[in-house]
A and B are shown apart, each in its own frame.
Chain A
Amino acid sequence: DAGITQSPRYKITETGRQVTLMCHQTWSHSYMFWYRQDLGHGLRLIYYSAAADITDKGEVPDGYVVSRSKTENFPLTLESATRSQTSVYFCASSDSSGNTIYFGEGSWLTVV
């Protein structure tokens, strides 16, 4: 029961570099989400997807790009990383009912 996995778990990158965080789920959930967690802000929604090839912006989408060519994968790309994007990123998924959202273990990203 792999569930939802994120990679890499830890990443240090330089300002201006492109970084992609991967998310894979084995449940065939239709909905997938990307959140970032910052001290004092809780978790904020970056992007979400209702199905393959359907994505939409969340609360803090600027500087991020997502795609969803396959139901099980939902990569998040920082096209040109900035220090303000240093954060912990959580991927999540849920079925169409939305009754329960399951979270991955997080990706710690540091931009120097």
Chain B
Amino acid sequence: AQSVTQLGSHVSVSEGALVLLRCNYSSSVPPYLFWYVQYPNQGLQLLLKYTTGATLVKGINGFEAEFKKSETSFHLTKPSAHMSDAAEYFCAVSAVGRRALTFGSGTRLQVQP
């Protein structure tokens, strides 16, 4: 069984500040980990993913995430927030050999001017 916990349903940061969105997962087998972003009234866009190899993963729009097996975490960060980063962010996990994703409940990021 797999599950994902996103800490904080709403996060607010100032423009230019560090963005940190937290994600913890549980999986009985080696996981694939994903972050998706959703803008209002749109579908989900892949930000980045970890499958194997380097544990620090860089994605689009300046985001990155680090897979920490010992902490079962895959937190999303961006050094400097931009107004256009305001959106909902979803962490998701799938297990090797299982194609379907299990999603967290999402974190809405608000960026203050």
Contact = CB atoms under 8 A, between A and B. Distances in A.
Nearest to B44: A103
Contact of A43 (B32, B45, B99, B103): B103
Interface string B36-64: 10000111111001010000000000000
B101 A101 contact: yes
Given A40-B105, A42-B105, A50 B99 contact: yes
Interface stretch (A13-21, A64-72, A76-84, A92-100): A92-100
Most buried by A among B9, B51, B103: B103
B94 A98 contact: yes
A106 B96 CA distance: 26
A104 interface: yes
A103 B101 CA distance: 12
A7 to B, nearest CB: 14
Given A31-B99, A50-B99, A99-B32, A104 B43 contact: yes
A42 B103 contact: yes
Contacts of B92: 43
A103 B34 CA distance: 13
B49 A42 contact: no
